Amino acid sequence: MKPYPVTRAPRRVRKTRILAACAAFSASAFQAQAHTIVGDRVFPATLTIDDPGVNDELALPSFAYMQSANPDGSLGSYNYSLGWFYGKTITADLAAAVFQNYNWQTNPSAHGWSNVTTELKYTPWQDAKSEAIVSVAVDYNWANTGSPQSASLPTAPFSTLTFLVFGGKGFGQAQADWLRPLAVTGEFGVNFPMTATNANGSLNPTSLYYGMTLQYSLLYMNSYVQETPELFRRLIPAFEAQFNTPVSNLAPNTPGSFPTNVTTGVVGPSLYYIGKYFEVGVMAQAPINKESGAHLGVLAIVDFFLDDIAPDTLGKPLFGPPQTRGHM
């Protein structure tokens, strides 16, 4: 729900480098709000990338923190973001979603709403036995749906179209018991700004958005491998990585500014608690370079499983039967 210190949808060039850092941070933190069940495998709502399936979800709130760095190596602004996400299944394999962030910073002080993003996501293939799933999505970040250009932290004055592919694979069929709780997920996308050049002459680059998670589910271990202590039975520790690489329509590099062609990203450990009706997750995000941030930041989420809370109303598809669920 990106950080997001890495943007899925590129934001406008800010009036200052500090505002630019805050905008990039707020764009990527909260685009990862859903849990997916494939056979016996639960893929949690990971914080850096989206999960690989479609569900009825409400993430409220998501939180991100990261301090930016300036090109000269000095510390920049303290950047914060609160986000919300709502996902609604249309059929068992097709869902629509909408999400937005409220961003603020100190040193200097600024605040504002991000533009609204909508998503249409489809799962063409999943296999319960192999705990594998593939999905595709189209996101659209709508210009002028957040804070106006007169705000201290204005939104992008242009829209962005993003095409995405997701995948997930559990290792429940592995021969070694210690491998069976393992799972991996991945995401790859391409961002296309609908406006190549802003009114002030600044360029909006096309960029690649990609990442992955490595998960070790103690929830799975307790259910299908061996009993674990009660304190750990519903936990899924993970390691996550997320990156953004500008690839075209790049502005020329200028002295005293960050290069325009540098890959930004975060990596770090995360931990998720999976309850019956909700999930809580937290991650320590480490920037990969000074363009991504100054030091260790935090991502967090509370995600409500509407398909479990209200399976006959809010949590059911608009058309057709619900997904076939495994039982953990």
pLDDT, tens only, 159-218: 999 999 999 999 999 999 999 999 999 999 999 999 999 888 889 999 999 999 999 999
| Residues of the chain scoring pLDDT < 50 | 1-33, 326-328
Cα 264 from Cα 243, distance rounded (Å): 6
Cα 250 from Cα 260, distance rounded (Å): 6
Cα 83 from Cα 57, distance rounded (Å): 14
Any bridge partners for residue 166, and if so which? 135, 187
pLDDT of residue 277: 96
pLDDT of residue 325: 56
Phi-psi region of 320 (alpha: psi -120 to 50; beta: other; left: phi over 0): left
Cα 152 from Cα 77, distance rounded (Å): 14
pLDDT of residue 123: 97
pLDDT of residue 16: 35
pLDDT of residue 31: 44
**Of 115, 62, 136, the residue nearest 285 (C-alpha):** 62
- Residue 6, token pair as written in the block: 């890495």
Cα 57 from Cα 128, distance rounded (Å): 21
pLDDT of residue 323: 73
pLDDT of residue 35: 76
193 touches 158 (CB < 8 A): yes
Phi-psi region of 31 (alpha: psi -120 to 50; beta: other; left: phi over 0): alpha
What pTM does this model have?
0.89
**Of 93, 164, 82, 119, the residue nearest 321 (C-alpha):** 93
Cis peptide before 108 (omega within 30 of 0): yes
Cα 262 from Cα 131, distance rounded (Å): 36
Cα 36 from Cα 234, distance rounded (Å): 15
Domains of the chain from N-terminus onward = 17-309 (2.40.160.40)
**Of 46, 73, 209, the residue nearest 141 (C-alpha):** 209
Cα 230 from Cα 61, distance rounded (Å): 27
pLDDT, tens only, 288-311: 999 999 999 999 999 999 999 999
Q: In the 3-class helix/strand/coil scheme, how is 184-247 assigned residue by residue?
A: EEEEEEEEEECCCECCCCCECCEEEEEEEEEEECHHHHHHHCCCCCHHHCCEEEEEEEEEEEEE
The DSSP H or E segment spanning 25 is helix 17-28
Phi, psi of 224 (to 5 degrees): -130, -5
Q: Rg of the chain's alpha carbons, rounded to an integer?
A: 19
Task: State whether residue 232 is helix, strand or coil.
Answer: helix
Cα 178 from Cα 237, distance rounded (Å): 14
pLDDT of residue 327: 45
